[in-house]
């Protein structure tokens, strides 16, 4: 799932314009979008990325509905066509953080970004890195003394944990 960061207001002028509103109805997502999209001056591609992110929300992310957000519903909420949302979903699923950021920042149109993703051959697309992959990458960057210190520390922690497990097993058996 891709998260789209919405930065808080930082300037004094923006703070003075900040207002709060009460949620009316049972659609918190629609409420937030209507309160924010029009004042952020997002282009169609940026709104499509927001819509695509909405379709990726898991069922239950909105406590007031029993279903996820459909592409049709998302396209109406962000005022873009269904095809734009589908293109944005292709971009999000590519897992290319640079390309995703370029579309979100309005530097690349979602249609061009989707075309770039589709042009890549499947063997060129990298699967998302797992935590183990990220650990191995970090491990490879460490010098040998740092690796040895890490292993020794974790070994000692594991030894303490095993002693605690053994003690609990003996206490339970007694």
Q: Which of 162, 166, 4, 24 is nearest to 92 (CA)?
A: 4
**Predicted pLDDT of residue 18:** 55
Can you give the length of the chain in residues?
A: 174
d(CA 49, CA 131): 26
Q: Which of 11, 3, 106 is nearest to 52 (CA)?
A: 3
Instruction: Note whether 69 and 55 are within 8 A (CB).
Output: yes
d(CA 44, CA 85): 10
Lowest-pLDDT choice from 7-11, 18-22, 42-46, 149-153:
7-11
User: CA angle 117-85-67, nearest 5°?
Assistant: 120
**Predicted pLDDT of residue 128:** 75
**Predicted pLDDT of residue 163:** 93
Rounded to 10 degrees, the C-alpha dihedral 22/24/30/34 comes to -60
pLDDT in tens, 145-166: 999 998 999 999 999 999 999 9
User: According to the 3-state scheme, what is the secondary structure of 113-149?
Assistant: HHHHHHHCCCCCCCCCCCHHHHHHHHHHHCCHHHHHH
pLDDT in tens, 97-125: 888 888 888 888 888 888 888 887 555 55
Q: Is 50 exposed, middle or buried (0-12, 13-18, 19+ CB in 10 A)?
A: buried
Choice between 73 and 2, residue whose per-residue pLDDT is larger: 73
- Is the predicted pLDDT of residue 85 greater than 80, yes or no? yes
pLDDT bucket at 1, cuts 50 / 70 / 90 = very low
**Domain parsing of the chain, residue ranges:** 12-119, 131-173
Domain range 12-119, its CATH number among 1.20.1250, 1.10.10, 3.40.50, 1.10.720: 1.10.10
Q: What percent of the chain has pLDDT over 70?
A: 67
Residue 43, both tokens: 């282009």
- Is the predicted pLDDT of residue 86 greater than 60, yes or no? yes
């Amino acid at each position: 799932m891709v998260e789209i960061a919405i930065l808080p207001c930082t300037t004094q002028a923006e703070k003075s314009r900040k207002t709060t509103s009460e949620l009316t109805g049972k659609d918190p997502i629609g409420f937030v979008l209507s309160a924010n999209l029009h004042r952020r001056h997002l282009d169609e591609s940026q709104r499509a990325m927001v819509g695509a992110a909405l379709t990726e929300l898991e069922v239950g992310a909105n406590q007031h509905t029993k279903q996820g957000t459909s592409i049709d519903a998302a396209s109406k909420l962000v005022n873009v066509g269904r095809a734009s949302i589908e293109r944005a979903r292709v971009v999000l699923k590519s897992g290319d953080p640079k390309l995703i950021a370029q579309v979100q920042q309005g530097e690349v149109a979602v249609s061009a970004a989707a075309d770039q993703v589709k042009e890549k051959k499947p063997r060129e697309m990298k699967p998302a890195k797992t935590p183990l992959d990220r650990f191995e990458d970090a491990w490879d960057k460490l010098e040998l003394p740092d690796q040895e210190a890490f292993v020794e520390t974790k070994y000692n922690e594991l030894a303490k944990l095993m002693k605690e497990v053994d003690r609990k097993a003996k206490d339970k058996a007694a």
